[in-house]
Amino acid sequence: MLIKIPFASACKESDVTPESIYLSRRAVLGASLAGFAVSALPSWAQAADPSRYADVEAGKAPGWFSDKLTSTKWQAVTVQNEAITPFKDATHYNNFYEFGTDKGDPAQNAGSLKTEPWTVVIDGEVAKPGRYALEDFMKPYQLEERIYRLRCVEAWSMVIPWMGFPIAALLKQVEPTAKAKYIRFETLQDPKTMPGQRSGFALIDWPYVEGLRLDEAMNPLAILAVGMYGRELPNQNGAPLRLVVPWKYGFKSVKSIVRISLVSEQPKTTWQSIAANEYGFYANVNPTVDHPRWTQARERRLPSGLFSPNIRPTEMFNGYGEQVASLYTGMDLRKDY
Amino acid sequence: MRYLLWRVAVFVAICIPPAIWLNRAWALDLGPDPGKALVDLFGLGTLVLLLITLAMTPLQRITGWAGWVHVRRQLGLWCFTYASLHMLGYGFFILGFDWAQLGVELVKRPYIIVGSLAFLGLLTLAVTSNRYSQRRLGARWKKLHRLAYLILGLGLLHMLWIVRADLKEWAIYAGVGMLLLLLRVPVIARRIPRRVYRKPAAATKV
């Protein structure tokens, strides 16, 4: 007899989706189907792929993305007893300094980002380096929906349904050599479309760089995402390709990736280069190690009401300790924060 | 009261931004973290009001119009009011009125310490802003109220430690602050052309 023992952080669909969202999803579905029946748009087959969350702004999904929706594993990973952050908040409260430092700037300015065509370079210590058009890059992978908590180093948090695939699957394709110890990610650098990169007062040395130890990247929770809330990534959320590492602070999850390199040395990552005493390379969510300017023991789960601030305790590894704590056995996480 | 209309106009003008902010927060227009947004807005408002307050004396010297200094005390008190709301918001929205945590923050975080010192400074100036204190303190009153320069420095430092990636906005405030302080250096202040404001000639001859 096969006995399946799920992780404590896993749960069934019925546990996670709030009923109101589930019901409104039906309303949205019904309404959109009715709309299509009336107008009978020629593109209905593509557009009829249901948006599964309430109030999701329809995007303009590229063909390769829409094609993958039919084979997508929905709700592959979920969270327990948590409400999913409304789409509007997840897309209008962003840190994406390439488009400005205010939380609303990315939503306002990221329209200028051109995500088609998009090229991804794979290089460094790999048997199969290459330069791919995004649709070719994505070909081997089946999309999975992963509902993860996102904990920002600034002490706010959200719950977001991502769509992507494990980095482990990519590594299997590109075959890292024995020298590969770390994986390095680089964001697009294009001052023409990224106003933040034009600022003369920026402290960031563009392009934005992040990285993981190879075994961290191999962990099944670490994914490369191309979608969220059942649609392709909006520009301000790091379209068309971004990293999502749910047990680390949000700044590790680099956006709009153009280059992935396997390297032998620990990469010089952006925030660590700016302020090493505030932002470490590991940046694991850790309530016992404070940011020098604020406590990390608690977080504001957004949306936070004006008269009922939604403050809650932060969990070690953002609640994913069962899956990732073993990566760090023998390490002093106070030193390697 | 002289310049009554002018004073009332300033009063009303300064009431408007908080009314707009609160209304936006109420209408869920400040994003998913309205509390934090309000704290930031009142913090920035405090700095701007402090700069405006400190601009009144130089403006009077340059233009010769006495109206500027007649709203100086009011502006200073407004600055203190904004700062109080900034602190109140921080306590409620960020700390959740967790007093133990406040103790920790006050000991461990330089930017909180600096901000709190600046607030204590503003409190001192607000408490001694009345005529009674002016009379009692005499010459010392003026010296005490030069604390405003120190408070400006603390406020700018407080903001500098919060800015994380782009110094442009901070550089603008710091530049204006620096200019206002430079205008008070005696060597420079003496060179500012003083204009005496003359009332337009009356229509009737005496």
Confidence of residue B166 (pLDDT cuts 50, 70, 90): confident
Q: pLDDT under 50 in chain A at which residues?
A: 22-23, 25-51
The helix/strand/coil state of A244 is strand
Which chain B residues have a beta carbon less than 8 Å from that of A300?
33, 35-36, 94
DSSP H stretches of helix in chain B: 4-26, 34-63, 67-70, 72-89, 99-108, 110-127, 131-137, 139-145, 147-160, 168-182, 186-191
CA dihedral A320, A325, A327, A328 (to 10 degrees): 130
**How many contacts, defined by CB atoms under 8 Å, are there between A and B?**
75
Separation CA B127–CA A114 (nearest Å): 57
Segment B8-24 shows an average pLDDT of 94
Cβ–Cβ < 8 Å for A111, A209: no
Per cent of chain B over pLDDT 70 is: 94
Query: Which structural domains are found in chain A, ordered by start?
Result: 13-328 (3.90.420.10)
Nearest CA in chain B to A205: B165
Which chain A residues have a beta carbon less than 8 Å from that of B94?
300
Which chain A residues have a beta carbon less than 8 Å from that of B101?
295
- Cα distance from B22 to chain A (closest Cα, Å)? 10
Given the DSSP bridges, would you call strands A73-77 and A144-151 parallel, antiparallel or unpaired? parallel
- Cα distance from B161 to chain A (closest Cα, Å)? 8
A166-177 b/e with 16+ CB inside 10 Å = b?
Answer: bbebbbeebebe
A290 contacts chain B (CB < 8 A): yes
Nearest Cα to A28, choosing from A66, A55, A58?
A55
Given the DSSP bridges, would you call strands A119-124 and A257-263 parallel, antiparallel or unpaired? parallel
Model confidence at B188: pLDDT above 50 = yes
Segment B168-183 shows an average pLDDT of 94
Q: What is the pLDDT of residue B104?
A: 86
Q: Which residues 193-212 of chain A have a CB within 8 Å of chain B? A: 196, 199-204
Q: Which residues 140-199 of chain B have a CB within 8 Å of chain A? A: 161-162, 164-168, 171
Which chain B residues have a beta carbon less than 8 Å from that of A294?
105, 109
Cβ–Cβ < 8 Å for B17, B45: yes
Residue identified by tokens 């109080």 is B84
Phi, psi torsion values for A283, nearest 5 degrees: 50, 35
DSSP H stretches of helix in A201-243: 214-218
Q: Which residues 24-43 of chain B have a CB within 8 Å of chain A? A: 25-26, 31-36, 38
By Cβ distance, the residue of A292, A295, A302 closest to B32 is A302
pLDDT single digits (tens) B65-103: 999 999 999 999 999 999 999 999 999 888 878 888 888
Residues 6+ apart with CB under 8 A from B60: B66, B68, B69
Q: What is the pLDDT of residue A209?
A: 97
Q: Which residues pair with A294 in a beta bridge?
A: A291
Confidence of residue B26 (pLDDT cuts 50, 70, 90): confident
Cα A162 versus chain centre, distance: 6
Nearest CA in chain A to B114: A293
Model confidence at B201: pLDDT above 60 = no
The helix/strand/coil state of B31 is coil
Beta carbons of A304 and B35 less than 8 Å apart: yes
CA dihedral A86, A89, A90, A93 (to 10 degrees): -170
Q: What is the pLDDT of residue A310?
A: 85
The helix/strand/coil state of B21 is helix
Q: What is the DSSP letter of B90?
A: I
Instruction: Pick B8 or B187 by higher pLDDT.
Output: B8
B104 contacts chain A (CB < 8 A): yes
Separation CA B194–CA B189 (nearest Å): 10
Sheet holding A119-124, edge to edge: A130-133, A119-124, A257-263, A182-187, A209-213
pLDDT single digits (tens) B129-164: 999 999 999 999 999 999 999 999 999 999 998 887
The helix/strand/coil state of A237 is helix
A96 contacts chain B (CB < 8 A): no
By Cβ distance, the residue of A201, A292, A311 closest to B171 is A201
Q: Which residues 78-97 of chain B have a CB within 8 Å of chain A? A: 92-94, 96
Q: What is the mean pLDDT of chain B?
A: 89
ipTM of the assembly?
Answer: 0.73
Helices B168-182 + B34-63 axis angle, to 10: 30
Separation CA B89–CA B182 (nearest Å): 33
Residues 6+ apart with CB under 8 A from B85: B18, B42
A10 contacts chain B (CB < 8 A): no
Q: Which residues pair with A119 in a beta bridge?
A: A133
- Cα distance from B43 to chain A (closest Cα, Å)? 15
List, as own/partner pairs, every contact residues A275-281 make where C-beta atoms lie below 8 angstroms and the sequence separation is at least 24, other chains included.
A279/A153, A279/A249, A279/A251, A280/A336, A280/A337, A281/A211, A281/A336
Nearest Cα to A113, choosing from A272, A242, A276, A245?
A242
Q: What is the pLDDT of residue A217?
A: 97
By Cβ distance, the residue of A196, A293, A309 closest to B93 is A309
Q: What is the pLDDT of residue A203?
A: 83
Q: Which residues pair with A73 in a beta bridge?
A: A144
Q: What is the pLDDT of residue A199?
A: 81
Nearest Cα to B37, choosing from B48, B51, B47, B26?
B26
Nearest CA in chain B to A104: B31
